[in-house]
Amino acid sequence: MNPSNATPLLNVSDLTKHFPLQRGVFEKMAFRKGRFRWISQTVHAVNGVNLDIHRGDTLALVGESGCGKSTLAKTIIGLYAPTSGQVIYNGQDIGRLAGAARKPYQKKIQIIFQDPFSSINPRKKVLDIIAQPIDVHGLAKGAARSERVATLLEKVGLSADYAQRYPHQFSGGQRQRIGIARALASEPDLIIADEPISALDVSIQAQILNLMMDLQEALGLTYLFVSHDLSVVRHISNRVAVMYLGFIVEYGDTEALFEDPKHPYTQMLFSAIPSLDTLEFQDQFGLKGEVPTPIQLPCGCVFHPRCPKVMDRCRVDHPMLREIETGRWAACHLYDHQQRSNGRPMYR
Amino acid sequence: MSRPADTHTDAKLLRVEHLKTHFFTRKGVVKAVDDVGFTLDRGQIMGLVGESGAGKSITGFSILRLIDEPGRIVSGRILFEGENLLEKSEKEMYRIRGNRIAMVFQDPQTSLDPVFTIGYQIVEGIAAHRPMARGEARRRAVGLLQQVGIPSPDERLSDYPHQFSGGMRQRVGISIAMSAAPALIIADEPSTALDVTVQAQVLTLMRKLVREQDAAMILITHDIALVGQFCDAIAVMYAGRMVEKGPKEALIRTPLHPYTIGLIDSIPGRQAPRKRLRQIRGMMPNLLNLPPGCPFKPRCDRADDGCHRQPDLVEVAPGRAVACWKVEAS
C-alpha cells in the first residue's frame, strides 16, 4: 500500500489483538451437548491489520467507538502485546520486544493521550512531568535537563516559568500542551495521538491542531492520528484508514477518500457527520443500527448487518482489503469486478 | 435589553426574559446565566450553543427550576404557556416537570436506574403524571418504545439498562421524556455520548417526534455544525451571556458576533487542508473573574476602547440580535 517505494517508517503487518473476556466461574460454564463445558470468549479488538506509515505523513485512523482504533495505537506503542502479527519499525519487529531491548524504540515512538487531566501526574511539577522521558533515557541531567524542559515549553507555546508549577494550575488546553511537550522530550520520530483534542473545548481544539501542524513542520514529525472527528481528520491528515470492528475497511489519500468514499460504511459514516455545507440533515445512505459487539463478529463481511447494499455473498464471504483503484483500498464485494489485476491484497 | 419579538403579545410557547441565575460560592458570585432572553414557538427547535461554562445547561435547568444551592435564580421571568414559572410553587412545578416540560440528558447510562427494568422505569414515568391501570400503562410503554424504534419492544420491557446499547438507552431516555406528550423538551447534549452514525439517527428521531407532536425543543450542545443540521433557530452563549441569536441559515451563513465568526471559522474541514486553522486566541475567562465590559473583549480582534462597556443584545435585522458594539455601529 505504498505509492512511493521508500521503506515505511512503521509497518504494521497482519496485526491482531484479542482480549480474553474475564468472567466469573459460573458464567464461563455452559450446558451443551449433555454436559457442562467451559466456554471461553474473546474480544476481537484488532483483526489482521496491515498499515504503512511513511516519514512525514499524518495517517489518520478513524472509526466509531469500539472499532479498535485505540487498541491498534496502543499495540503499536507497546502498551499491549500483539496476539499475532508484527509491528516493524525501521526494519525491526518491535511488537514482542520488552524491557531494555525495547527502550531505544520507545524513545522514537511517543504518545499523546486523549484526556489531559488523567494523563499527567497531579503531584509532580511540570518540570518533572516533561523531564520524565529525559530521565528514563538518561538524556540530560541538572541544568541541561531544566534547559531542555524550558525549550520544550516554549516549543509548545507555554512560558518557561511554568516549569515550577503543578498541573492543577493549568487549563485543559494548557495541560494538553504539557502532554505534547512530554511526548517531544525524547525527540521521537513518530507520535501517536490518541484523540488528542476530543476532550477540549471547540475554540481550544483549533489551537492544539495548529500547534501539532507547526511542530510537524518544524521537527519533521510523523503522526498516527486516532480520531472519530472526521472534519479534524480531513484537515490534518494526508492519508486515512477507516476501521470497523477491528478491520480496516477503506484506506486512501485523505482528499480523494473524502471526495468519493467507496465502502458503504465510509459513506454512511461521512453522511452522518454534521457539516455546515448543508443545513438540513438528510439521510442519504440508509443509516441504521449500531456497531455490534466485537465478542461475536458477524460472519462474512462484518458490516453486512448494517449495510444498505448487502448482497448474498456478503453474508458468507469476508471481503479482503484490496486496491480497487490506484491508491485506494477497500474491503467490499461491490468492487470485486474492479479489482486491479495487479491489485496487491492486504490480507492473507 | 431590547427584545424585538416582544412587541406583539402573541402566544409564544416559551418566553424567557432577563433571566439571571447566579451561584453564590465562597469565592464569590458566579454569574452563570446573566440577563438571558429568548422566545420559542411551538414546533420550533432552538439550538443553544456554547463552550463548557458558557451557561447553556444552567439556562436549561433554570427553566425547569432545577437549580440547587448555592445557585439561585436571581431575577427574570420564564413565561411558559403564558404563565411565569418562577412564581409557581414547588408542588406546581412538580406537575409541570416531566409532564409539560421534559428533559433528555446527556448520558443515558447515568440517567437510567441500573437496578430497575426499562419497563418499570417507563411505567413509573407514565403513572406519575396520569393515574392509570398497570396494564394500560404497560401497553403505552410498548407503544412508546415502538415509536422510538426499539425492535421487539414487548420483550425489551423486562430488560435492564445494561442490556441496551448506548444508542438504544438514549432512545429509552427519549421515550420516557415523550411519555407525557410534553409541550417543551430540553435536551442537554443528548447525542454527545453517542457515535456519529447513532447520533444522526437519534437526532432525526427527536426532530420527527417534536414536529409530529407540535412540541418545541431546546437542543443544548457545543457543536455548532450539529445545530445547523437539526435546529430552526440558534442562540450562541458566551460566559453566561447570549451573544447572538437568529434563524439558523442566516446565523451560520453570515455570523455577526466575532465569537460566532471565530467558532464557525475554526471548524476544520472548511479550510485549506494541512494549513493552520483560523483560531480564537486565549480561552473563556473564569466566570469569577470576568473582564469588565464585553466578556469577549480579551479574545476579540476587533475590540477597542469602546468595548469597556457591556453590550446588550440588540436587534440588527428581523429576528437577529447581536451583543457587540462593533456590529451595532456598522
Asked if residue A2 belongs to a domain, the reply is no
Cα dihedral value B162, B168, B170, B175, nearest 10: -110
Of A234-248, B119-133, B245-259, the least confident: B119-133
Task: Compute the mean pLDDT over every residue in chain A, rounded to the nearest whole number.
Answer: 88
| Closest partner CB to B263 (pick from A203, A255, A283) | A203
Cα dihedral value A313, A47, A331, B195, nearest 10: 100
A46 has pLDDT over 60: yes
From the CA of B200, how many Å to the nearest CA of chain A? 6
Substitution target in A276, A277, A284, A285 with the highest count of B β-carbons within 10 Å is A276
Pairing of strands B314-317, B83-84: unpaired
Inter-residue contact B36 to B243 (CB < 8 Å): no
| Gap between the Cα atoms of A235 and A254, Å rounded | 9
In sequence order, the 6+-apart residues with CB closer than 8 A to the CB of A138 are none
Long-range contacts of A211-219 (CB under 8 A, 24+ apart): A211/A156, A211/A157, A211/A177, A211/A180, A212/A180, A212/A236, A213/B274, A213/B275, A213/B276, A214/B276, A215/A155, A215/A156, A215/A180, A215/A184, A216/A56, A216/A58, A218/A155, A219/A184
Inter-residue contact B256 to B329 (CB < 8 Å): no
Q: Cβ–Cβ of B201/A287 closer than 8 Å?
A: yes
Domain count, chain A: 1
Of A311-320, B15-24, B160-169, the least confident: B160-169
Q: What is the mean pLDDT of residues B189-196?
A: 84
What are φ and ψ of residue B316, in 5° steps? -110, -25
Triad A119, A121, A126: Cα angle to 5°: 105
**pLDDT band at residue A121 under the 50/70/90 scheme:** very high
Q: What is the mean pLDDT of residues A291-312?
A: 90
Q: Per residue in B29-63, pLDDT tens?
A: 999 999 999 999 999 999 999 988 899 999 999 99
| Gap between the Cα atoms of B221 and A212, Å rounded | 26
| Closest partner CB to A235 (pick from B168, B230, B271) | B271
How confident is the model at residue A339, as a pLDDT?
58
| Gap between the Cα atoms of B167 and A199, Å rounded | 21
Give the domain range for residue A200. 10-338
How confident is the model at residue A35, as a pLDDT?
78
Cβ-based burial of B26 (10 A; exposed 0-12, middle 13-18, buried ≥19): exposed
| Gap between the Cα atoms of A322 and A224, Å rounded | 22
From the CA of B328, how many Å to the nearest CA of chain A? 24
| Gap between the Cα atoms of A337 and A257, Å rounded | 20
ipTM of this complex prediction, to 2 decimal places: 0.78
b/e map of A205-218 (b: 16 or more CB within 10 Å)? bbbbbbbbbebbee
Q: Cβ–Cβ of A207/B281 closer than 8 Å?
A: yes
| Residue with the three cell numbers 422505569 | B121
pTM (2 d.p.) = 0.84
- Which CATH number does the domain housing residue A157 bear? 3.40.50.300
| Gap between the Cα atoms of B118 and A233, Å rounded | 38
Cα dihedral value A315, A316, A321, A323, nearest 10: -90
Q: How many CB atoms lie within 10 A of CB A170?
A: 18
How confident is the model at residue B65, as a pLDDT?
94
Asked if residue A155 belongs to a domain, the reply is yes
Q: Per residue in B276-304, pLDDT tens?
A: 888 888 888 888 888 889 999 999 999 98
How confident is the model at residue B52, as a pLDDT?
85
Pairing of strands A84-89, A35-38: unpaired
Q: Per residue in B195-231, pLDDT tens?
A: 888 888 889 999 999 999 999 999 999 888 899 999 9
Q: Cβ–Cβ of B273/A255 closer than 8 Å?
A: yes
With an 8 Å Cβ cutoff, the interface of chain A facing chain B consists of 58, 64-65, 171, 173, 201-207, 209-210, 213-214, 228, 230-232, 234-236, 238, 254-255, 268-269, 271-281, 283, 287-288, 290-291
Asked if residue A132 belongs to a domain, the reply is yes
| Adjacent-strand bridge partners of B33 | B21
What percent of chain A clears pLDDT 90, i.e. is strictly above it? 59
- Which residues of chain B make contact with A64, given a CB cutoff of 8 A? 195-198
| Residue with the three cell numbers 506503542 | A77
Q: How many CB atoms lie within 10 A of CB A133?
A: 19
Asked if residue A348 belongs to a domain, the reply is no
From the CA of B281, how many Å to the nearest CA of chain A? 8
A340 has pLDDT over 60: no
Cβ-based burial of B250 (10 A; exposed 0-12, middle 13-18, buried ≥19): middle
- Which residues of chain B make contact with A288, given a CB cutoff of 8 A? 201
Inter-residue contact A314 to A306 (CB < 8 Å): no
Question: For chain B, which domains are there?
Answer: 4-100+180-268+278-329 (3.40.50.300)
Task: Compute the mean pLDDT over every residue in chain B, rounded to the nearest whole number.
Answer: 88
How confident is the model at residue A347, as a pLDDT?
42
| Gap between the Cα atoms of B176 and B122, Å rounded | 6
Pairing of strands B314-317, B241-247: unpaired
Asked if residue A181 belongs to a domain, the reply is yes
Cis check: omega of the bond before B70, within 30 degrees of 0: yes
| Gap between the Cα atoms of A273 and A233, Å rounded | 12
Asked if residue A126 belongs to a domain, the reply is yes
Amino acid identity of residue A233, one-letter, is V
From the CA of B93, how many Å to the nearest CA of chain A? 34
Q: Cβ–Cβ of A281/B200 closer than 8 Å?
A: yes
Q: What is the mean pLDDT of residues A238-246?
A: 94
Asked if residue A91 belongs to a domain, the reply is yes
Residue of A nearest to B248 (CA): A279
Q: What is the mean pLDDT of residues A180-202?
A: 92
**pLDDT band at residue B306 under the 50/70/90 scheme:** confident
Q: Cβ–Cβ of A268/B268 closer than 8 Å?
A: no
How confident is the model at residue B1, as a pLDDT?
42
Pairing of strands A239-244, A58-62: parallel
Asked if residue A333 belongs to a domain, the reply is yes
Substitution target in B197, B257, B278, B289 with the highest count of A β-carbons within 10 Å is B197
Residue of A nearest to B192 (CA): A198
Inter-residue contact B228 to B252 (CB < 8 Å): yes
Q: Cβ–Cβ of A236/B268 closer than 8 Å?
A: yes
